Amino acid sequence: MDSERNGGTAVCPGSYDPITMGHLDIIGRAANVFDNVVVGVVDQPVRKQKTIFSAQERVAFIEAEVAEYPHVQVKPFDNLLVEFAREHGAKAIVKGLRAISDFEYEFEMNQLNRKMAPDIESMYFMAAPEFSFLSSSGVKELAMFGGDISGLVPDRVAARLKEELRR
Ligand code: PNS
């Protein structure tokens, strides 16, 4: 990790159901740039089906992976993203972009968030090529049909996912 960071605080928001290696790559890269990173875990995503894991468990999965970074915190939230960012004094919201298919949704979110909070800048980190195909929903689908998800999510997440989907 780089020792020189001076970007203030950034929020990395998401449903993280569950966290993937692609998410962790974005969080790690944000942690290289910003003084503090708050990973915001949406309690109950509005546009998605019920989550597989509770917010508490999704937070715990991420905490275990970022434990070595004292300037990265993980918090659940159930209010507007921009309010959550304000509560933490964040200047920026950082998200990952994988493909053009992400763009339309993120563009809409960007405009809504900008309207409410023009002072908070949304920034987009391009997914690393090795993660550009990776999504939580893809991982869940693979796991559901017995596919190999090792290397796509942290080991403890893979184990819990298999356990959960076996039910
Ligand atoms: O794609 P994700 O991971 O489900 O994204 C979640 C989030 C919060 C990043 C996205 O929905 C967003 O940018 N929302 C902005 C609007 C808002 O504040 N909604 C309330 C969230 S609790």
Q: 116-166: per-residue pLDDT in tens? A: 999 999 999 999 999 999 999 999 999 999 899 999 999 999 999 999 887
% of residues, the chain, pLDDT over 70? 98
Protein residue whose Cα sits closest to atom 4 of ligand 1: 15
Length of the chain: 167
The pLDDT tens digits of the residues spanning 58-84 come to 999 999 999 999 999 999 999 999 999
Q: How far is CA 159 from the centre of its chain?
A: 20
- C-alpha of residue 79 to centroid of ligand 1, in Å: 10
- C-alpha of residue 126 to centroid of ligand 1, in Å: 18
Question: Band of the pLDDT at 167, cuts 50, 70, 90?
Answer: low
> Is any ligand 1 atom within 6 A of the Cβ of residue 13?
yes
List beta partners, residue 74.
39
pLDDT at 3 over 80: no
CA atoms of 9 and 129, how far apart (whole Å): 26
**By CB neighbour count within 10 A (0-12 exposed, 13-18 middle, 19+ buried), where does 47 fall?**
exposed
Cα angle 42, 48, 50 (rounded to 5 degrees) comes to: 80
pLDDT at 1 over 70: no
List beta partners, residue 95.
124
Say what the pLDDT of residue 166 is. Answer: 73
Contact 123, 7 (CB under 8 A): no
- Taking residues 12-31, report their average pLDDT: 98
> Is any ligand 1 atom within 6 A of the Cβ of residue 122?
no
Protein residue whose Cα sits closest to atom 5 of ligand 1: 14
What are the sequence ranges of the domains in the chain? Answer: 2-166
* DSSP three-state, residue 3: coil
- C-alpha of residue 13 to centroid of ligand 1, in Å: 7
> Is any ligand 1 atom within 6 A of the Cβ of residue 80?
yes
CA atoms of 118 and 101, how far apart (whole Å): 25
Question: Prior bond to 18 cis, omega within 30?
Answer: yes
pLDDT at 2 over 60: no
- Taking residues 71-100, report their average pLDDT: 96
Query: CATH class for domain 2-166?
Result: alpha beta
Q: Is the dihedral of CA 156, 140, 101, 11 positive or negative?
A: negative
The pLDDT tens digits of the residues spanning 24-61 come to 999 999 999 999 999 999 998 787 789 999 999 999 99
- C-alpha of residue 54 to centroid of ligand 1, in Å: 16
> Is any ligand 1 atom within 6 A of the Cβ of residue 81?
yes
**By CB neighbour count within 10 A (0-12 exposed, 13-18 middle, 19+ buried), where does 50 fall?**
exposed
- C-alpha of residue 96 to centroid of ligand 1, in Å: 13
